[in-house]
Amino acid sequence: MSEPAHIRATYNDIHNIIKASSAKIAEFKPNMLIAIGGGGFFPARVLRTFLKDPSTKRNIPIQAIGLSLYESLPGTTAEQLGNEVIRTQWLGPEPGKTLLGRRALIVDEVDDSRKTLQYGNRDKLIARYALSELQKDVENELQAVPESERDALRTKFAIFVVHNKLKPKLGELPPDIPYFAGAEVEDLWLDYPWEAMDIEEHDRLAAEDKAKST
Amino acid sequence: MSEPAHIRATYNDIHNIIKASSAKIAEFKPNMLIAIGGGGFFPARVLRTFLKDPSTKRNIPIQAIGLSLYESLPGTTAEQLGNEVIRTQWLGPEPGKTLLGRRALIVDEVDDSRKTLQYGNRDKLIARYALSELQKDVENELQAVPESERDALRTKFAIFVVHNKLKPKLGELPPDIPYFAGAEVEDLWLDYPWEAMDIEEHDRLAAEDKAKST
């Protein structure tokens, strides 16, 4: 009998993946992090340790957002899905104003496929759906701005995920969106440490996996 | 020369403090977690692993909030401070409606004294200020509800902090607010793992500290 294929990431693994990614991410010069809850909370907080606002040299503010998708039937198009997003939490207090003129990095733990609930009842949603929702806010807010100023104020977005699963994605990213993946991984079940009921056992299994693969 | 007195917490230390606190917290029956950014993000995410919504048995939703305090002069009263809170992020999209009828647990990493910026430029704010801000929203929202229904809908709050520093606090908690502290610690500088530039060195020093204290 073969064991179910898991990838187990320890806290320190993730911490170090983020650290190693930070130099590359700094080239985008983000001055705002948008953490997708709940999986993006921890990565965003760690990333902030390794980035400073390029102009002020201060901490980069983190905003959190929450999205949920209605369960959808097989065959639902990406466009239909886009209409089924519920914002459980959003930028505040004024989303558009929070975004205009910013360089915003969207942060999540994994870029998997397209759906919430794919891991049972976890509230997982991929960053690319967050991106399109945020872009809607920016475009709405830009309507109140003279046309000649819009390009300068249009938010620059980028995406960072700790793990990118090597599998086909529903919905292509626009080519002008920088995309940073801390690690590219096979399409296996990812066990995150914050979900471990027994963190010592989790670490022990992770160490075993590492020993096997070397 | 004496070294500056630090308490170093590893990721697994914090994970296990939260795990050990969860049975006690479950007695409050929270059905909503409010994470104070950025220090409350990680604790809230871990706590959710050890709690389920008591009625639905599903994951408890996490909302994130951000607060900042204006720098204030020595001698500023707690009341004045209360007026100087800026909400950098808030419950959304409808704060009052998100809260009414809920049992909400406010989560942060440390209950220290009263101010942001006390650790340099970290955006730290203690849970008790978040509480009073949230209570304002609840009372505002209750004005739209018939008086006879208000008591039933008034949000029940509780607070959980991973570490409670044993020192005088500015501002007493109302006596009806359950308060959970994962660990009581001396008034020393707390080094959190998510702020470690070198996580292996952080862990090594934490292990040394533990060896010394036993």
Average pLDDT, chain B: 82
Dihedral in degrees, nearest 10, Cα atoms B175, B176, B177, B178: 100
- Active site residue: B13, B108, B111, B112, which one? B112
Is residue A65 within 8 Å of residue A90, measured between CB atoms? yes
Nearest to B49 among A16, A58, A194 (CB): A194
| Range scoring the smallest mean pLDDT among B18-27, B117-126, B166-175 | B117-126
Task: Tell me what pLDDT residue B40 has.
Answer: 92
Name the band, by pLDDT with cuts 50, 70 and 90, for residue A113: low
pLDDT in tens, A21-64: 999 999 999 999 999 988 899 999 999 999 987 777 788 989 99
Distance from CA of B32 to the nearest CA of A (A): 12
Residues B6 and B46: their CA atoms lie apart, in Å, by: 24
pLDDT at A115 over 50: no
Distance from CA of A71 to the nearest CA of B (A): 16
CATH number at residue A13: 3.40.50.2020
Domain total for chain A?
Answer: 1
Task: Tell me what pLDDT residue B85 has.
Answer: 67
Q: Is A57 contained in some domain? A: yes
Q: Is B164 contained in some domain? A: yes
pLDDT at B62 over 60: yes
Distance from CA of B175 to the nearest CA of A (A): 30
Name the band, by pLDDT with cuts 50, 70 and 90, for residue B121: very low
Task: Tell me what pLDDT residue A56 has.
Answer: 77
Q: Is B1 contained in some domain? A: no
Task: Tell me what pLDDT residue B29 has.
Answer: 95
Task: Tell me what pLDDT residue B72 has.
Answer: 47
pLDDT in tens, B123-181: 334 677 788 889 999 999 999 999 999 999 999 999 999 998 887 666 667 788 999 99
Is residue B212 within 8 Å of residue B191, measured between CB atoms? no
Q: Is A160 contained in some domain? A: yes
Which candidate, B181, B169, B171, B174, places its Cα nearest to that of B155?
Answer: B174
Written as one string, the DSSP assignment of A180-204 is EEEEEE-SSEEE-GGG-SSHHHHHH
Name the band, by pLDDT with cuts 50, 70 and 90, for residue A129: confident
Is residue A67 within 8 Å of residue B62, measured between CB atoms? no
- According to DSSP, the β-strands at A6-8 and A189-191 are parallel
Average pLDDT, chain A: 82
Cβ-based contacts of A44 with chain B (< 8 Å): 38, 41
Q: Is A1 contained in some domain? A: no
pLDDT in tens, B66-106: 877 654 444 555 555 545 667 888 887 777 778 999 999 99
Task: Tell me what pLDDT residue B118 has.
Answer: 37
Task: Tell me what pLDDT residue B12 has.
Answer: 98
CB contact under 8 A, A193 and B15: yes
Residue B189: how many other CB atoms lie within 10 Å: 10
E strands, A45-111, are: 62-69, 85-89, 103-111
Q: End-to-end alpha-carbon separation of chain A, Å?
A: 23
Name the band, by pLDDT with cuts 50, 70 and 90, for residue B194: very high
Q: Is B55 contained in some domain? A: yes
Q: How many CB pairs under 8 A join A and B?
A: 119
pLDDT in tens, B102-112: 999 999 988 76
Task: Tell me the catalytic residues of A.
Answer: 112
Domain residues for the domain of B30 are 6-213
**Residue B72 is encoded by which pair of tokens?**
């204030």
Task: Tell me what pLDDT residue A149 has.
Answer: 95
Averaged pLDDT for residues A97-126: 66
- Tokens 């909302």 sit on residue: B63
Name the band, by pLDDT with cuts 50, 70 and 90, for residue B188: confident
Averaged pLDDT for residues B52-70: 80
Task: Tell me what pLDDT residue B69 has.
Answer: 61
What is the ipTM score, two decimals? 0.85
Task: Tell me what pLDDT residue A93 has.
Answer: 72
SS3 A2: coil
Q: Is B123 contained in some domain? A: yes
Give backbone dihedrals phi and psi of A83, rounded to 5 degrees, phi first: -85, -5
